[in-house]
Chain A
Amino acid sequence: MEDRIPAKPLSTPRVRAVGQPRLTAGLDKNHRIALPRHLALHGPLPGLPPGALVALARAADQRGRGGAAFPFARKLLAVLASTRPGRPPVILVNVMEGEPGSEKDRMLTTRVPHLVLDGAELAATALGACEIVIGLAEPSGAAIGSVEAAIKERHHSRHLPRTRVVSLPRRFVSGESGALVRGVNGEPPLPPGRKRHASDGGVGGRPTLLSNAETFAQLAVLARLGLDAYSAVGTASEPGTILLTVGGAAGTFVVEAPAGTPLATILGAARAVTTGPGVLVGGYHGTWLSPEVARTLEVSRAGLARARGMLGAGVILAIPAATCPLGEMARVVRYLARESSGQCGPCWRGLPKIAQAVTQLASGAGDRPSVDRMRQSAAWVRGRGACGHPDGTSRFVLSALEVFADDIEAHLANGTCGRGTLGALPVPDEDTGPRLLVDWTRCDRHGLCGKVAPELVTLDHDGYPIIADSPIPARLKREAHRAVLRCPSLALRLGPPPHQIA
């Protein structure tokens, strides 16, 4: 009866542990840990009064594992402070995982649902919560079925506050806490313009303890082990293990490792290359690290802070030496620009500009002023949105410009670094739509296209157009069509990229 849930996962990351597995215990033998097996593995869940739970979370310095690394004890205190008699709080488990490279929360919810529910139950009992809400993004593979089955299994055996699963459309920004709260409340799952802490008013306006699925699972492990046993692994300032999603040449792995484990060990566990041009840590809102920095990095909050990075949602992506890092970067920045919800002007207008510049750079159409402008745009969008999307994109771009400086020089000087773009980084909905193509036998450098579609066409020193070999973004479709109509030589057309023609 272990594998009752039909396993039809969205993608099946393999699970590996460095050292003794905790959250991932038993996953080497079972696809899904059902309730009896869960209890046999972890033992009964202790009940903790609010004070003890706060003290434990503070002593172990538990942080939110969704990316913001907010101290969990402070969240608990904030919810306790705003709870009034007759207005019990709500527990909201964030499994949105909008980050394309991240799989760990979906993996936990699918395969170890009871550990996540344990953490939510611990918090609910301590805070006297009236409801637990699990926020998932569609498509979620088998996660919804698994967690709903787990809720049923638990209701047979014990008292649990009302628990419901809310599924919302998957977007990069819908995992932001304000966006998730809005989504659960039936509003569009977009970040609100004016921040309000979920602890002050979240689901249904009630004080809400919102944290990511791994955070709750870690809490369940911590409560059972106690501080000393929990701190037996990890570093002094960051006890316990970390759940990471590691993408490399061998596919995607979820790796559980003690905090402070060398990055090289983690990449080894995921059979990922360590010889590439750079390692991305913290996902698409994260930081590129040079191979030299990556070689000596310890994966912990402190270790990443030393490397001027951040762990974010725990996504580590290693790209192989055979791919063009700028091409990979361009694919991701185009995706991030598409994912802007369009609410905040600086992000909505700024990210496409950055995407355009990096696309041109990757395709050999870049020049030094455009690289400088890209750096400027990336610096300008920082802090100028309702959520961290512009900030994260800025971090991604600026660190890439630093780590791939040699490749940028090669592209500026030679138009290419000599490598093709292999598509090593996961990018959803990468559209293969029409491109703006030039019939070079007809082009007579009239230059009208450069005026009609300045965002798509750069003119070289001789006046001939330089157009990136990338799909036309939706907002530039009209410009592209107009460029085709205005070309005096009828040399422009919209069509599939040449390599797609059989």
Chain B
Amino acid sequence: MESLRAAIAAILSFLTFYGGVFALVASTATVGIGLVASDRVIMRPELRLAAQAVHRALAVATIVFLITHIALETAAGRVRPVDSVVPFLAPGRTFYIGLGTLASDFIIVIAVTGFARARFTHGRLKPRVWRAIHAVAYLAWPLAIIHGLLAGRQPKPYVTWSYGICVIAVVVALLTRLAAGAYTRRATR
């Protein structure tokens, strides 16, 4: 009984320490693979479907780690429950914690609409609206990185430049996507 309690405490303290890191790594991978899945220059339809599946799985992982992170930070008393929803109210590093809250709100909206994607294909909800909401990921993810690097403990240098590389890679891929889209798009759109 005592050992079980000790094990749970060890897991919780591990997740308190790494929950945010895992959420950030998972969201980085989600954004990256999501971009890869949209490529049609190199990717065959079969590979794109596989990439879509990985993208969805990583998105679920992101949500799970995000909720874990928020719950454990709140439980540890570092933030109040209201700070998990409303940004820029938290004590301490108010601005950088607030960026995390903002990113989390965005990510949850993106996830919910992602699950309800089929609803945007018919009825009043337009595909364009889904597109716009989903594109907010490109805002939420950098906010999450800034939050991750500056709201908590001091990151090791390799962590900082790793995220830097990720951001640059995504920006390049995104520009490629937009350029390729402009190139193949029909005139009347």
Question: Interface on A for B, CB 8 Å cutoff?
Answer: 439, 441-442, 444, 446-448, 450-452, 481, 484-495
B46:A481 contact, CB within 8 angstroms: no
Query: How far, in angstroms, from A403 to B1 measured CA to CA in the complex?
Result: 81
Report chain A residues within 8 Å CB of B46: 451
Quote the shortest CB–CB distance from A152 to chain B (angstroms): 57
Query: Given contacts A447-B45, A481-B118, A495-B122, could you give 20 more A-B pairs where the C-beta distance is less than 8 Å?
Result: A439-B127, A441-B189, A442-B127, A444-B185, A446-B40, A446-B48, A448-B49, A448-B52, A450-B45, A452-B49, A485-B117, A485-B118, A487-B121, A488-B38, A489-B127, A490-B121, A490-B130, A492-B121, A493-B118, A494-B122
Known: A442-B127, A446-B40, A495-B122. A490 touches B117 (CB 8 A): yes
Query: Which B32-62 residues sit within 8 Å CB-CB of chain A?
Result: 37-38, 40, 45-46, 48-49, 52
Report chain A residues within 8 Å CB of B106: none
Report chain B residues within 8 Å CB of A486: 49, 52
Report chain A residues within 8 Å CB of B48: 446, 448, 488
Query: How far, in angstroms, from A405 to B48 measured CA to CA in the complex?
Result: 40
Contact bitstring B145-189, A, C-beta under 8 A = 1, else 0: 000000000000000000000000000000000000000110001
Report chain A residues within 8 Å CB of B40: 446
- Closest B residue to A448 by beta carbon equals B45
Quote the shortest CB–CB distance from A228 to chain B (angstroms): 71
Query: How far, in angstroms, from A341 to B46 measured CA to CA in the complex?
Result: 34
- The 9 lowest CB-CB distance pairs between A and B, nearest first, are A490-B127, A493-B121, A493-B122, A451-B45, A447-B45, A448-B45, A484-B118, A490-B121, A495-B122
Interface: B131 (CB within 8 A): yes
- Closest A residue to B181 by beta carbon equals A444
Known: A442-B127, A493-B122. A451 touches B49 (CB 8 A): yes
Query: How far, in angstroms, from A121 to B48 measured CA to CA in the complex?
Result: 70
A484:B45 contact, CB within 8 angstroms: no
Report chain A residues within 8 Å CB of B184: 444
Query: How far, in angstroms, from A481 to B122 measured CA to CA in the complex?
Result: 13
Report chain A residues within 8 Å CB of B95: none
- Closest A residue to B131 by beta carbon equals A490
- Closest A residue to B122 by beta carbon equals A493
Report chain A residues within 8 Å CB of B127: 439, 442, 489-491
Query: Which B96-128 residues sit within 8 Å CB-CB of chain A?
Result: 117-118, 120-122, 127
| Residue of A439, A447, A448 most packed against chain B (CB within 10 A) | A448
Query: How far, in angstroms, from A490 to B118 measured CA to CA in the complex?
Result: 8
- Closest A residue to B188 by beta carbon equals A441
Report chain A residues within 8 Å CB of B49: 448, 451-452, 486
Quote the shortest CB–CB distance from A252 to chain B (angstroms): 39
What are 7 A-B contacts defined by CB distance under 8 Å? A444-B185, A446-B48, A481-B118, A487-B121, A490-B127, A491-B127, A493-B121
Query: Which B51-100 residues sit within 8 Å CB-CB of chain A?
Result: 52
Query: How far, in angstroms, from A450 to B44 measured CA to CA in the complex?
Result: 12
Report chain A residues within 8 Å CB of B118: 481, 484-485, 493
Report chain A residues within 8 Å CB of B185: 444
Report chain A residues within 8 Å CB of B120: 490
Query: How far, in angstroms, from A452 to B45 measured CA to CA in the complex?
Result: 9
Query: How far, in angstroms, from A491 to B118 measured CA to CA in the complex?
Result: 10
- Closest A residue to B40 by beta carbon equals A446
Query: How far, in angstroms, from A486 to B49 measured CA to CA in the complex?
Result: 8
